[in-house]
Amino acid sequence: MITRYQTKEMARIFNDEYKLKKWLFVERIVAGIEEKSGVIPRGLSSKLAKIKVKPERVRTIEKVTNHDVIAFLEAAREKLDKRAGKWLHFGLTSYDLVDTAFVLMLLEAIDVLLGDVKKLLTVLKRLSLKYKKTPQMGRTHGVFAQPITFGYKVASWYEEVKRAYQRLILARKEMSFGKLSGAVGTYTMLSPALEKRVMRKLGLKPEPVSTQVLPRDRFALLLAIIALYACALERIATEIRNLSRTEIGEVLEPFTRGQKGSSAMPHKKNPITCERISGLVRVLRSYLIPAYENITLWHERDITNSSVERVIFPDAFHLAHYLTLKTRWVLENLNVYPKRMMENIEASYGVYASQNLMNKLVQHGMSRGEAYNTVQRLSFKTIAAKEDLKKTVLKDKKVCQYLNEKEIAKIFDLKWFLRNIG
């Protein structure tokens, strides 16, 4: 991920130095259990706790080996005496180490994301309650429909993000598996019992059937859940962008001191942060295809998944976290204009009551078809004349045969529309 969209929390996890630290950690835990089980002599695990392998050294060795795990192991053995070094990685295959350590990193990243999604939920809930009774025109197809409240709209965002939060918890559970089943996953060298002990120490469960790698449907599910969450953020950003349009003007994302909206037009306040959110979600969502294609590997394994995952998972977590922080900042500082919301309701000339009017006519004896056609005719007439629909209705003899003035007034009462919201 380019520096512009990295977060320091994810950068701490997704870097070569931390990956090698995790590899050493897994090797140390495996060695410790092997020592206790009598598989290898004692001494290696305590020595592994004291050494550090530098990425630069691994890269140098890898230029010769063309194998990153072997390069890591050689670099680690350089820090160990020969007696201890010969037992390093005993009984393991590369992906026993790589996959198990990668899962530990992904779980840490999920925890970081969960923490900030929870904070976002708090902001959404607070915003929803603050504007619970603030009338706003609801729109379908971009056209005036019926009144809602702005708090109701935000509550919809809240519920979607909450579902995403719950799915991330599910993803964490689905990802909490590791493996030590060795080449082709048949436990040729190490026993399932030893694997279980190691996994318990790592806070994981043994993969029931791993082949030589962990099954990639788990990883695809994780990315799918992250992408769904990102879509929730895009929905929020898109709505704010639309409501910021000059002709609507009901909300505006923060515009900071010294900020410039356009190099040519000084009056501009563009929703650039929300546009950035919408754009980056497209990138994140595109990672779904390679994640799903990684599920199908040749026989017991190949490494077509390896190069892909070095890109898509760090990027996906950087983006998901960055988008979370940006969305929260926008919502915490969102400019909301209740007066403009009311002006837009009034600009509908009362046609928001068309359904209510039609249903009342049906209840009072008019056929559904006639009621629909009557209200449609009056609504179109109102819009063309820019006259309030209630006034048009009061002058219509056909409607007045079914409804009196008091009943018509109730039909257009804005409070009636908002009574059951929120």
- Identify the three-state secondary structure at position 363: helix
**pLDDT of 315-373, one tens digit each?**
999 999 999 999 999 999 999 999 999 999 999 999 999 999 999 999 999 999 999 99
Indicate whether 122 belongs to any domain: yes
Mean pLDDT of 106-120: 98
Indicate whether 261 belongs to any domain: no
pLDDT for 182 equals: 92
Domain range for 352 is 348-418
Do residues 203 and 332 both lie within one domain?
yes
pLDDT for 420 equals: 73
For residue 53, the domain's CATH number is 1.10.275.10
For residues 76, 78, 83, 88, the Cα torsion angle rounded to the nearest 10 degrees is 20
Tokens for 236? 């929020």
pLDDT for 263 equals: 64
Do residues 76 and 101 both lie within one domain?
no
Do residues 279 and 217 both lie within one domain?
yes
CA 32 from chain centre, in angstroms, equals 38
Do residues 315 and 172 both lie within one domain?
yes
* pLDDT of residue 226 exceeding 90: yes
Residue 261 pLDDT class (50, 70, 90 cuts): low
Do residues 124 and 166 both lie within one domain?
yes
pLDDT for 1 equals: 82
Do residues 182 and 319 both lie within one domain?
yes
Q: What is the reported pTM? A: 0.93
Do residues 228 and 343 both lie within one domain?
yes
Amino acid identity, position 283: V
pLDDT for 255 equals: 78
* pLDDT of residue 295 exceeding 80: yes
* pLDDT of residue 271 exceeding 90: no
Nearest to 239 by CA among 349, 307, 153, 123: 153
| Cα separation, 275 vs 157, whole angstroms | 17
Indicate whether 372 belongs to any domain: yes
Tokens for 356? 């209510």
Indicate whether 389 belongs to any domain: yes
- 254 or 118, which is more confident: 118
- 267 or 138, which is more confident: 138
Mean pLDDT of 232-251: 96
Do residues 323 and 195 both lie within one domain?
yes
The DSSP code sequence of 258-285 is T--S-SS-TT----HHHHHHHHHHHHHH
Do residues 177 and 243 both lie within one domain?
yes
**pLDDT of 308-324, one tens digit each?**
999 999 999 999 999 99
Domain count across the chain:
3
pLDDT for 422 equals: 54
- Catalytically annotated residues: 141, 262
Do residues 85 and 166 both lie within one domain?
no
Do residues 201 and 298 both lie within one domain?
yes
Q: Do 25 and 49 contact (CB within 8 A), yes or no? A: no
Last residue of a domain, one of 289, 315, 347: 347
Indicate whether 262 belongs to any domain: no
Mean pLDDT of 255-267: 69
pLDDT for 118 equals: 98
